[in-house]
Structure 1
């Protein structure tokens, strides 16, 4: 047995030394680095002495032995897997294996941008759902000083640890809230299509706020649910300076959280943990930045979702050029498992209204009413009492000066990139933001 975790709170660059914390039953082991999609290590360290250390408090720093590794200075930026290899055991490593204990994610960000776009990996969301040690923000919740707390410095967090998520029938064997479920499909598709993307953990981006300003576009996909005030402020400053924000996900910027002293903290109601410090309840609701909100959409957490079909705006749009709209509408499982929508008067979906957080000039490209089909149904979060518009999944964008802010409005967008219509719309958006290598 070998388990490990990495430093996710600081930006890691080629040539840096980064911390890897290991507990193992093996007397000796080796650390290796594998590139995303690679079957051979790009770096292999010396034999190290192993030590078995108990699991810690799921809300605190586990303080396992640190075995720092020096990142090769010539290593390209990107997503890597840190792998611990037991030298006196029979462990075999397969890079595609989900939940392999001896694995952790490492994002290496180049010193000088290799792309016009930075992809933000949602480490805070991985951490929130990570039950290593017996608790997460969703399982056996732990409370301290009025906040629900999860530890940052422990195994898991997207890969290399347990997950308490139910089986997703649309992707059996590929649990939600992991890197493999949403982010790996998006990054692999982007690479295949020739879109260069630098990467960083959102937890590390908070530590180095000036990094975002070196790029022209910020990209996030899948399930980027937990945002700190620092993340929000830096993103708003980025947009004000002309930076594009492209969201190919859903339930984005929902919980307002903080990472402090190795703890992920969210003010949730202990009696009713779906209620708490939500961005839309503040004076800076998420839709004022990203155009859409989960409170106008919904979630379907059961085994199967009700079929949901998108309808596109009748007068078209440049972002829809070349998109087979009829084929897109046939994707009845694209919406989910959580979706963001917009408020509108019934019968007038192309005219966003009713909510104070609607950004000026929001263009609704498509929407899909969330119709229930028992036994499947959509869960709807509470919202302002005066809003009467139907719940929906929305695809929309708006502009802030020269900045393009696009929102695909569904977590499962990355899982449908193989579909020609979704592929074309995604490429249209990336091309409009001029995403390319430098």
Structure 2
């Protein structure tokens, strides 16, 4: 009798384990819109078919199935399936089907169709940068650079409408960035870690990149695998789009009455080592974003009616005394953009950035115009930077009470009546303790 019971358990457990192994990572929602959504997952190399069965919450009898039509059976198999003809403001449940078997269940809610019907919905989102996951075989010898990754379990439990990743979302090593298979391996390995899975399913995700998930440290447009790196990035994130004409990863995302302009600070970037100026004049050859992307950004900002217009980019933008990668070290583009903002009187602009291994809010005053704010959120798990040892320890441009020098993430909420919306920021640690905060009203960001 005992043998029969054991045999039954093995016959039940082993197929279930095999099914779970077929799902390497995910599922994760992204590009959640009014009537469609992209579901991302990574399937095992033995999987032959992938599909999503979905239905309005509580109505499984009306389920529909969308099948993946791309190629499977490769070494790494990231999958994106778009579900269409959905209803706005509706909760949906779905199942991941691999070779016809349900291996994971999850849910999402489409955006609310509020325009011309009701006030803009209040909402919140999480954000952060610099996620280093230790792998001793390929890490540098000595003290591990990555810290406790349980912060992602904390983030999974914090209510939010989506997550905005600010770059260095994984860290390529010397063993990775010299080849395309190495780039693929790093994205695959880090995305598949168990500590991430609950967070990936908890909310939709969007991302920009910085140097370490683009290529080597301080990588720029000279990186020989920049197009292949772009392909890997686009395979592992469900953003709405990735640049134009097959170049770059910039895109635009909107939620409620806020527009997010996700920039690419690597694909077209000149080497940071180039001098900012030559013979006292801005160096005309040193650019961070490139003409194509800057033209897109300017036109996109001009057509935005959002209460807040958040420019999302991997490196800091406005810190005047930073010696590290920052938009202001590319003065031709930087001053041209600042002049553009002054001439066109565009309200509601803020920057959201990463990279620095500490968090802070930088306030940049402008003559005859509202100040610009640069919210920097970092690090999620990587080593902490040396801001307290350098020239930025008492940065006069830093908003008091916002410096955080430990692992943290940011929770940003937008609420309030039309014309008087508030953006509120909290930097939080893995214990949900608030380490710094900041808030700004829509009216403060008008000339």
TM-score range relative to shorter protein: 0.3 to 0.5
Higher relative contact order structure (alpha carbons within 8 Å, sequence separation ≥ 6): 1
Tell which structure's C-alpha radius of gyration is larger.
2
Higher helix content, 1 or 2: 2
The normalised TM-score by structure 2 is 0.38
